[in-house]
A = this chain, B = another copy of it.
Amino acid sequence: MSAQAPRSTALHTDRYELTMLDAALRDGTAQRRCVFELFGRRLSGGRRFGVVAGTGRLLSLIQDFRFGDDELRFLRDGRVVDAATLEFLAGYRFSGSITGYQEGELYFPGSPILTIEGTFAEAVVLETLALSVLNHDSAIATAAARMSIAAGDRPLSEMGSRRAGEESAVAAARAAYITGFGATSNLEAGRRWGIPTMGTAAHAWTLLHDSEEDAFRSQIAALGVDTTLLIDTYDIHEGVETAVRVAGTSLGGVRIDSGDLPTMASQVREHLDALGATATKITVTSDLDEFAIAALAASPVDSYGVGTSVVTGSGTPTAGMVYKLVARQASDGSWVAVAKSSTEKSSKGGRKAAFRTLKNGIATSEVVAISDGFEQVDTPAEHPGARPLQVQLVLDGQADAAFQGPAGVEVARAHHARVREELPVRGLALSRSDPAITTVFVNAKP
């Protein structure tokens, strides 16, 4: 039993992708060059910006998108596809190219977050995997970034694993870290992504012992006086008394996990100070979200632990991105921009290049230049200093290692910290509103 063995990700796929592939192999369209785009039509939940996350995970998962014997047997036994398609899948390896927003980057409605180019056959099958990863991780990252803004300089820890599916919890810890959280309670996130882990004791620890004092004494014996004691199992006032009596005034910290937090924090701070434990820190962890964090700005709180709300996207558990065919080659080799044109779900066909215009270092607009299908788009002449937003993530099937693994997480975290500085002040507010900047679509000139 090893945690490291790669599992095939090939069946994290909606069946219709393989039925389309099957039919396209029959009618010859499977080999048409295509450009798919992953983007969001709007920012869910009235958010003022979104944060791209999951990119580094996705690059690795695409490497593991291989159809082995087990996968092929399932497809054959279930008659999902025919023999020719099984043969194609047995040799499948994505050999196309992907450009996109760097992980940690901000995005806005219509931002071309990923552009996937390859044959129809090789690109259509990645739809579900790409959307699962980006929609989940970006929703968490966006919520976490708002919490990070609300917390200011105070450290934030993610501790919501128990409120998310066991694998999504690991991804959530990663997304929160990229957007400014400093640590996670989730050990698998520590192992897999190198994220600092934290945690001391739960209420069960106190309840296990014959008295709160026994529990505190034992915890300090094991972890030292620098540990954080959970003081609200019984009476919180007595909890503070006991904590300082047992640990002395150099106790590292106390944690409050219930009650009206502004009131509790003030009372506990006064109490600790009166007992001489003026350097003992206060962590609060009860049902926090970005609004509760903001409401505690004037309270004597030293750090926040956030659970449910960050791992569930604080009311917006999915980012609502879609994966659409936007351009394809015609029989004569020319490129054709394509888009669904009926009703409210219409989108803009054509390959996109994206730039962020800045004034004095502050973002002023998202410029998206649309072409039919040609490869390179220069910075639009009318926006000479605009920052290009897309980087090469995969080139001819080779994913850039710099964006993957624990090192990739650090790259994304640093990138996010840098680009968040570009947000205009109105982008920092927590209330529901329009996007902080407007997306402007222009026609690219080849």
Could you list which residues of chain A lie within 8 angstroms of chain B, going by C-beta atoms? Answer: 1-9, 11-20, 22-24, 26-27, 29, 32, 34, 36, 61, 64, 66, 68, 70-71, 74-75, 78, 80, 120, 124, 127-129, 131-133, 135-137, 159, 161-171, 185-188, 190-191, 197-205, 207-210, 214, 218-219, 221-223, 232-236, 257-259, 286, 308, 311-313, 317-318, 320, 323-325, 328, 330-331, 338-345
List, in ascending order, chain B residues with CB within 8 A of A1's CB: 5-8, 64, 66, 68
B22 and A222 within 8 A (CB): yes
Query: Nearest-CB distance from A88 to chain B (Å)?
Result: 14
Extra contacts, 9 of them, besides A5-B5, A12-B188, A15-B186 (Cβ < 8 A), are A14-B159, A14-B161, A14-B186, A23-B201, A26-B222, A137-B165, A162-B323, A165-B167, A259-B342
Q: A132 near B19 (CB under 8 angstroms)?
A: no
Which residue in B11, B205, B330 is a CB contact (below 8 Å) of A188? Answer: B11
Q: Are A232 and B325 in contact (CB under 8 A)?
A: no
- A29-B208, A208-B328 are contacts. A233–B341 as well, Cβ < 8 Å? yes
Stoichiometry (number of copies): 2
Smallest beta-carbon distance A43→chain B, Å: 15
A-B contact pairs, 17 of them (CB 8 A): A2-B7, A3-B7, A3-B71, A9-B166, A13-B188, A14-B185, A15-B186, A19-B200, A23-B201, A26-B221, A78-B197, A131-B162, A167-B168, A203-B325, A232-B343, A236-B342, A308-B318
Residues from chain B with a CB closer than 8 A to the CB of A311 are: 318
Considering the complex, give the chain B residue whose CB is closest to the CB of A217. B27
Shortest C-beta distance, A433 to chain B (Å), equals 21
* Chain B residues whose C-beta falls within 8 Å of the C-beta of A12 in the assembled complex: 161, 166, 169-170, 186-188
Q: With contacts A236-B342, A341-B234, A345-B258 known, is A223 near B131, CB below 8 A? A: no
Q: Which of A29, A124, A161, A317 has the most CB of B within 10 A?
A: A317
The answer to whether B16 touches A199, judged by C-beta atoms less than 8 angstroms apart, is: yes
**Closest-CB distance, A258 to chain B (whole angstroms):** 4
